[in-house]
Amino acid sequence: MQLEGKKIIVTGGANGVAEATVRRFAEEGANVVSLDIQDESGERVAREATAAGPGTVAYMHCDITQQDEVNRVFDAATQLLGGLDVLAAIAGTEAVKPAEDLTGEDIDKMIGVHLKHTVFTNAAAFRTMKDKGGSIINYGSHVAITGHFLDMSAYGAAKGAVQAWTRNVAREWAEYNIRVNAVGPAVWTPLAKRMFAELDTDTKQAFTDYFAWNVPLGGDLGDPLEPAKLNVFLASDNATFITGQMLQVDGGQVFAR
């Protein structure tokens, strides 16, 4: 087991990459608190992961865009866990709209769920990790690096901010032995399926052709288990000399920089 006894908080644990991560972390022996706003599936994933063991998963409701709520839930979670070794800040949502039509509300939503979420949870984790060190795993996106042929500029800008934050705190918190990295997945999750379902037939075909040509490994989006496996590595003591990196788990679609 690579994470035996590790104390971990995961955001977004009710679905997708974070759900797969919660399950993998428990399989590797970690004790996890999973946060989300979709309580029914969050509770179910926690129950199933604990039953599968050998680690445990507790679920707590937390809107990660609200700083007071994040601080309150992190206090409760770290108390339950008896400390904090790892934070995986994975929660997120998409936005598709032409750049020229974006409103202040659209921007606030993307900044809230991506940048504020990352800043609030990372800072809350720092307060516990600063004495003993730890690993923080944030979630960026290839959309911040390459842009996207769907209209995702607000999402891309917010993810770019997450990636810049990650590099900055990796330097700032290195003296506390806190490692901070970012991951960019390209996998079939409820988020990706939602976006695909909204496309017209021609765009669906263009999407499928794009992946066939641009994903060297497999020609398609991958399984959420793939970024979950990287999260296990980044959370483990095998990754103690890695910080400030943006790592893509996308079958070779994008080379991060």
Ligand X SMILES: NC(=O)c1ccc[n+]([C@@H]2O[C@H](COP(=O)([O-])OP(=O)(O)OC[C@H]3O[C@@H](n4cnc5c(N)ncnc54)[C@H](O)[C@@H]3O)[C@@H](O)[C@H]2O)c1
Among 50, 65, 181, 248, binds ligand X (CB under 6 A): 65
How far apart, in Å, are the Cα atoms of 190 and each of 102, 111, 114, 170, 194?
24, 21, 17, 30, 6
Distance separating alpha carbons of residues 141 and 128, to the nearest angstrom: 27
Report yes or no: 28 and 106 within 8 Å, Cβ to Cβ: no
Q: Which stretch binds ligand X (CB under 6 A): 78-86, 89-97, 168-176, 199-207?
A: 89-97
DSSP letter string, 105-124? HHHHHHIIIIIIHHHHHHHH
- For residue 53, which amino acid is it? G
* 187 lines the binding site for ligand X (CB under 6 A): yes
Q: What is the 3-state secondary structure (H, E, C) of 154-208?
A: HHHHHHHHHHHHHHHHHHHCHHHCEEEEEEEECECCHHHHHHHHCCCHHHHHHHH
Q: Tell me which of 139, 156, 165, 247 binds ligand X, using CB under 6 A.
A: 139
Give me the 198-217 binding string for ligand X, x by CB under 6 A, dash otherwise.
--------------------
Helix (H, G, I), strand (E, B) or coil at 236: coil
**Residue 134 binds to ligand X (criterion: CB under 6 A):** no
Report the SS3 class of residue 88: strand
Choosing from 59, 139, 155, 210, which is the catalytic residue?
155
34 binding ligand X? (CB under 6 A): no
Active site residue 155: yes
Segment contacting ligand X (CB under 6 A): 75-83, 125-133, 183-191, 234-242?
183-191
Q: Binding ligand X by CB under 6 A: which of 55, 92, 134, 251?
A: 92
**Binding of residue 63 to ligand X (CB under 6 A):** yes
**Total residues at interface with ligand X (CB under 6 A):** 29
Backbone angles phi, psi at 66, to 5 degrees: -110, 115
Assess 64 for contact with ligand X (CB under 6 A): yes
Residue nearest to ligand X (CB): 16
Can you give the binding site for ligand X, defined by CB under 6 A? 12, 14-18, 36-38, 62-65, 90-93, 113, 139, 141, 184-187, 189-192, 221
Active site residues: 155
